[in-house]
A and B are shown apart, each in its own frame.
Chain A
Amino acid sequence: MSQKVLLSSKEIHIILHRLACQLIENHLDFKNTVLIGIQPRGVHLAERLSKILAEDYNVNDVNLGYLDITFFRDDFRRGEKPLEANKTNINFLVENKKVVFIDDVLYTGRSIRAALTAIQSFGRPAEIELLTLIDRRFSRHLPIQPDYRGRQVDAINQEKVKVLWKENDGEDVVYLINN
């Protein structure tokens, strides 16, 4: 197994600030916008962006929720391991709101397809955007593309992109792992 650093801590820092600025450009005061971190790994990115918006750009009170997509996935009974559910926590209305889905890696697009179905259980959003730290190009199974991307990566199928966060893993770093 070999691994290559795709993004260092410093690069992640710069990218997160750029993504936060792009969000502000498109949404201004966030009165009608909500951020939804996709469980499990999109949550850290969503929390980090929400913190940057509040602390560095003075955009406070942005609604931040977590969406678990386990029961909406299309591979139930297809994998070797049972699907593991996570917590959904959306304590605000999404009806007529601009929803921004936040996930760490966009790969096949199936998770986002599941998230698009899952969010409908909470109401009908006015529109939905997708923000992702890593966009794995050429790996898509479905016609889904991000509106905001941190870094576009060309990776072959055996390779894996792993995103580590300081809060969870002790450091901010993105690896490209070859098994």
Chain B
Amino acid sequence: MSELSVNHLLGIKYLKEEDIQLIFETADHFKEVINRPIKKVPSLRDITIANMFFENSTRTKLSFELAEKRLSADVVNFSASQSSVAKGETLIDTVNNILSMKVDMVVMRHPNPGAGVFLSKHVDASIINAGDGTHEHPTQALLDSYSIRERLGDVAGKNVVIVGDILHSRVALSNIFALKLQGANVKVCGPKTLMPKYITSLGVEVETDLRAALEWCDVANMLRVQNERMDISYFPSTREYTQLFGVNKKILDSLDKEIIIMHPGPINRGVEITSDVADSKQAIILNQVENGVAIRMAVIYLLASKIKQ
């Protein structure tokens, strides 16, 4: 095992392909660990990690916290709504106050793109980006690729389509970077109104016909329609969106192959995918959640090994 080329995990675009492979190999070991009767190892017992969530989260926060605790790190949790941020404190002041309490690593989710990069330049701690606005969500992309690798053996050469709200999705952007870096072919599919103008410059093709996209792909990564980020109407109605871009059992059964269905969660059942698809054998949504803990353990472990004593 060698070393990561970075001291922070701010986004997939800062990683090299070897970094991703190293994270995957380390995650393989941690996956075995979390399937033991006792799922804890003592590696990080001298490391303290602050989880700073300036935006709501369920699974990412839980997954990070579990990963940290299974590595025996000390964990402090912070949520913006119950903090001095509500009183007008700046991000740097908030984080520096927490770091004065001898915190070694910060896992941060923030509504503003670039918050993690900004913080990494101003504080002396290892930063992990747990989602920054519409920018990146690197650990989600890593666990998505890891889940594809687990199911199909390799990511290189596979056809992956990302379906839905590409415009507002940090998951889509990080996934595109991660998949392209590993040699996968990537298409995005969704309403034109939800496609960023620059998207083709990232080396992905745009498809507006869901059926054509599904016929082409090995894996369909279905994104949630992010109603909370939509300040205007991007499509006429949810019903119309579902008819054009929702995946149901009927369309899957009509394909001449069995594709894999992924979803980063939370699912709007009956909108992006129907319940019978979400609960089918083709869906690896719960595998993604399980792999998330192993991937986050690997990332934290590898970054912690670079923190000087």
Contacts and interface: CB of A to CB of B under 8 A. Distances in A.
A70 interface: yes
Given A70-B29, A71-B33, A122-B36, A76 B1 contact: no
20 contacts: A71-B42, A71-B301, A72-B43, A76-B305, A77-B305, A77-B308, A82-B1, A82-B2, A82-B3, A82-B302, A82-B305, A83-B1, A87-B29, A88-B32, A88-B33, A121-B38, A121-B40, A122-B36, A122-B37, A122-B38
A123 B41 CA distance: 14
Nearest to B71: A71
Interface in B61-90: 71
A84 interface: yes
A121 B36 contact: yes
A78 B37 CA distance: 29
B304 interface: yes
A77 B307 contact: yes
A71 B41 contact: yes
Contacts of B309: 77-78
Given A77-B305, A82-B305, A87-B32, A121 B37 contact: yes
Q: Is the interface of B mostly helix, strand, loop or mixed?
A: loop
B27 to A, nearest CB: 11
Contacts of B33: 71, 88, 121
Count class of interface residues, chain B: 20 to 34
B49 to A, nearest CB: 14
Interface of B: 1-3, 26, 29, 32-33, 36-44, 46, 71, 301-302, 304-305, 307-309
A117 B45 CA distance: 14
A82 B29 CA distance: 15
Top-4 shortest CB links A-B: A71-B41, A121-B38, A84-B1, A85-B29
Secondary structure of the A side of the interface?
Answer: loop
A104 interface: no
A91 to B, nearest CB: 11
Contacts of A70: 29
Contact of A77 (B32, B36, B71, B304): B304
A68 B32 CA distance: 11
Contacts of B308: 77
From B2, B40, B41, B305, name the one whose CB has the most chain A CB atoms within 10 angstroms: B41
Given A71-B33, A71-B301, A78-B309, 19 more contacts: A68-B29, A71-B29, A71-B41, A71-B42, A71-B43, A72-B41, A72-B43, A76-B305, A77-B305, A77-B307, A77-B308, A77-B309, A83-B305, A85-B1, A88-B33, A121-B38, A121-B39, A121-B40, A123-B37
Nearest to B307: A77
A151 B290 CA distance: 46
Contacts of A87: 29, 32
Contacts of A117: 42
Interface in A76-110: 76-78, 82-85, 87-88
Given A82-B305, A122-B36, A72 B42 contact: yes
Interface string A61-72: 000000010111
